Structure 1
Amino acid sequence: MTEPLIKPGFEFCFELRCRVDDALPLGGSTFGEGLHFAKVSGGTVTGPRLRGVVLDSGGDWWNGQGLTVTLDARYVISADVTAGRAAVEVVNRGIWRTDEPTFERMLQGEDISERDLYYRTAFVFRTEHPELRWLTVSQFVGYARAEPGFVIIRVFRLT
């Protein structure tokens, strides 16, 4: 007997607003194509399940191939807990892709929403703090968008 499919549920937990420095091409890469590094240099964490700050730590290693980019980011947040703050390591991998018309709109300086392009991420959080254990025992996904100098990711727990 085949079990019926479970319809995935998502709980909105928080929004990361990560300040990201200009990308640095790695090796022989040209801007936009090949391997790059962009430092994560601060930001905020706001939402119903978590609040805090993004520390000036880590960065985003990304690989551009045409209108598709694969991302591998690692950084640290300092989360609000009952007795002050606790550090959380963030590992965030994802894919950014778009089509030619949307890319042209981006080049013209238009604001592009989460709905206008595919910018999705998956998270792993690591921390030893007991109040934040919930971050380490569930799967999280994000819908992202860029703003000048920032990457904004709405983070959802898969229920």
Structure 2
Amino acid sequence: MPDLLEPTLTFAFEVRVEVAESIRIGRGPQEEVFFTPITGGVVRGPRLAGEVLPYGGDWSITRPDGTELDARYLLKAEDGAVIGILNRGFWRADPEVERRAMAGEPLAETEFYYRTSPMFQTDAEAHQWLTSAVFVGMAREEEGDICIRFYELA
């Protein structure tokens, strides 16, 4: 059997997303649907820098075992290129950590699972690398913002 490649992750950039208060849409007895508007933010990193545009949002479904995330928003690179992002993922934690999170207590990133699987869209030639690779997002909440570190999977 040939040697199998072990996956490696390379840090590309971090997005710090500013959000407005979530709006409860409702659903059934075992889940709740929310919409969280995205109001801006910054992009910083070795491969991409710019801003988060104040368009889009995150539709989330919260169930007893965690939250499913479906965010769609826009980034604007320093060179002016607009990049669309579809970022799906999951947030989950045990009940005690969940209670602490809801109370606004700071949490160590090792206490919860907050991961995303983004896909990017742009016709800007300088940023085509985003549209032809797989990325993994490692997310956390920090001072009311959602911070996501994006890593390219090799």
TM-score range, shorter chain: over 0.9
Could you say which residue in structure 2 is the equivalent of 1:136? 131
- 3-state SS of 2:97 partner: helix
Cα deviation for residue 102 of structure 1 reads 1.2
Where does 1:1-159 land on structure 2 (aligned, <5 Å)? Answer: 1=1, 3-28=2-27, 33-81=31-79, 85-159=80-154
The amino acid of 2:92's aligned partner reads: R
How many residues are matched?
154
Contact 1:59/1:73 (<8 A) preserved: yes
* C-alpha distance in structure 2 between counterparts of 1:108 and 1:75, whole Å: 27
* C-alpha distance in structure 1 between counterparts of 2:11 and 2:125, whole Å: 21
* C-alpha distance in structure 2 between counterparts of 1:102 and 1:25, whole Å: 22
The amino acid of 1:78's aligned partner reads: K
* C-alpha distance in structure 2 between counterparts of 1:9 and 1:138, whole Å: 13
Gaps of 5+ in 2: none
* C-alpha distance in structure 2 between counterparts of 1:68 and 1:5, whole Å: 34
Contact 1:72/1:94 (<8 A) preserved: yes
- 3-state SS of 2:110 partner: coil
Contact 1:141/1:155 (<8 A) preserved: yes
- 3-state SS of 1:115 partner: helix
Cα deviation for residue 5 of structure 1 reads 3.8
Gaps of 5+ in 1: none
Cα deviation for residue 149 of structure 1 reads 2.6
The amino acid of 2:102's aligned partner reads: L
TM-score (normalised: structure 2): 0.92
* C-alpha distance in structure 1 between counterparts of 2:104 and 2:77, whole Å: 33
- 3-state SS of 1:156 partner: strand
TM-score (normalised: structure 1): 0.89
* C-alpha distance in structure 1 between counterparts of 2:75 and 2:125, whole Å: 16
Contact 1:72/1:93 (<8 A) preserved: yes
* C-alpha distance in structure 1 between counterparts of 2:22 and 2:40, whole Å: 15
* C-alpha distance in structure 2 between counterparts of 1:48 and 1:10, whole Å: 14
